[in-house]
Structure 1
Amino acid sequence: MSKFSKLGLRRTAAACAAAAVATVGLASMGAGNAAAAPLANGSKVITGIDGERVFTERTGESQYSVARVAYNGGIGRTALLSGTYKSTASEGVGGNLKVQILAGCQLDVGSLGGSLGGGISVLPSVGLDLSGGVSLPLAPGEAAIVDVTDKDFDSGSATIQLQDFEIEFPNCGGYASARTLTKVIASQGYEIGDDSSSVAGEGTLLQSTLYGQPFFVS
């Protein structure tokens, strides 16, 4: 069994995601969408040196910007996000499927406080069905990566479904933008260490990030 540091993987992924939001999440902010909008499907295949294979796909993703009446006179941005995120691995390969949100806000217009909540229910042999939401405390010109949920899987597949998952920018006075990240870490004999800081596996360690279509939150 080979051991791989999760800390190193997180640092590498965070660096890539930070670069992506700088070029897409903030620089491309423009007029917001006022109605429900479908987002592009996406997929990605990664293959190990010994033929290990993981296929990741994002389907049925959409977002709907909703009006929010808040204590600060209505300033704020909220979107409802839905979608299905799935990874399918070749025989003997297991891993972890994770959904994150990469978001940014143009202006900060008040004191910020964030909270993460929501309910999770397990769907039989399918994955996770997640409702609820997340509140993003972002400073002016700042971007953030927020974990939504994740699911370990053995040989086979894992699916996560979001239904009207609320993304709230409570004090965003300018344009807001967000996108999903679908991340997979997998290997043969995948196993999380007792200290939760490393993973073990045989052969190639496969790591992939599938970026969703950026969307504006009006």
Structure 2
Amino acid sequence: MSKFSKLGLRRAAGAVAIASAAVVGLAGMGAGDAAAGKLANGYKKASGIEGESIQTWRTGENAYPIATVANNAASRGFVLSGTYTAKASKGVDGKLAVKYLIGCQVDVGGIDLALGGSLGLDADSLTGGLSGGISLGLAPGQVALVDITDKDFSDSGVAAIQLSQTSFYLNNCGGFASARSVAKVIGAKGYSTDDGSLSGEGTLVQSTLYGKPFTIN
């Protein structure tokens, strides 16, 4: 049973990590990023030394600007949609997590982020609401890693998360702003998704699939 089945829908306002652009590999999040719109699909495969593997796909991802209530240059919004899927080889347990890296050029008064919209966990699950607010407190040259949700692999080694018109409102942000998706997988034979412990049966496989950076107008 997935963490969501046990605990219900996670609020996106739960966890935010602040890290420098150099640490999280965001050299590409500059003024040359793509404008919001349809974004490229992505795929990555990671393998262990004993033949284990986890594949990750990003499909149907798009981002579009939306008007904000504040209606000023320091407040901007966008909506995101996309499907993120992971498939592990036989016997590998683990989880798929979807996150977003969001950066702002200038903090003009304590950046805060509001979230809304919906997400689906897989084809058989119900869609739940997604709401909350996060105070980012970014400094120039930094980004926020915002946890959206995660899902355990099924008995067949598959996990899928779908974002549907999930809205982001970035307030008190001046100058250039950019974002990109992050689909992270971790797994192994004998891996416990409850506490992250390992039985020692095989290789621990970790992989991160980054989406294409896009500007937030």
TM-score between both structures, scaled by the size of structure 1 = 0.77
Q: 3-state SS of the aligned residue for 2:25?
A: helix
1:178 and 2:179 correspond: yes
Q: How does 1:132-211 map to 2 (within 5 A)?
A: 132=131, 135=134, 137-141=136-140, 142-153=142-153, 154-192=155-193, 196=195, 198-201=196-199, 202-211=201-210
Find the counterpart in structure 1 of residue 14 from structure 2: none
Report the Cα distance in structure 2 between the residues aligned to 1:174 and 1:137, rounded to whole angstroms.
Answer: 16
Q: 1:116 to 1:64 in 2, by over 3 A?
A: closer
Compared CA separation, residues 54 and 62, structure 1 to 2 (3 A): same
- Equivalence for 1:51: 51
Over the matched positions of the two proteins, sequence identity in percent amounts to 44
Inter-partner Cα distance in structure 1 for 2:21 and 2:44: 17
Aligned to 2:67: 67
Q: Matched residues in 2 for 1:212 and 1:89: separation?
A: 20
SS of the residue corresponding to residue 192 of structure 1 reads coil
Aligned partner of 2:108 in structure 1 is 109
The 1:38–1:66 alpha-carbon spacing in structure 2 relative to 1, beyond 3 Å, is same
When residues 131 and 20 of structure 1 are mapped into structure 2, their CA distance, relative to the original with a 3 A threshold, is same
Partners of 1:40 and 1:133 in 2: CA distance:
28
Q: Structure 1 residues 17, 186: CA separation in 2 closer, same or farther (over 3 Å shift)?
A: farther
Query: Mean Cα displacement is larger for which, 36-45 or 113-122?
Result: 113-122
* Alpha-carbon distance in 1 for matches of 2:127, 2:97: 11
Distance 1:90 1:16 in 2: 33
Q: Matches of residues 23-38 of structure 1 in structure 2 within 5 Å?
A: 23-25=27-29, 28-29=30-31, 33=35, 37-38=37-38
Mean Cα deviation higher: 143-152 or 164-173: 164-173
Q: How much does 1:60 deviate? A: 0.5
Q: Number of paired residues?
A: 196
How far 1:115 sits from its partner (Å)? 5.5
Deviations 1:130-161 (A, max 9, x none): 75476562434121101000001144210000
Unaligned stretches of 5+ in structure 1? Answer: 1-13
| 1:66-85 mapped onto 2 (5 Å cutoff) | 66-70=66-70, 73=72, 75-85=74-84
Partners of 2:72 and 2:182 lie apart in 1 by 32
SS at match of 2:175: coil
The alignment's C-alpha RMSD in Å is 2.9
- Cα displacement string for residues 55-106 of structure 1 (whole angstroms, at most 9, x for unaligned residues): 1110110000112131x84631211111000001111112010001011001
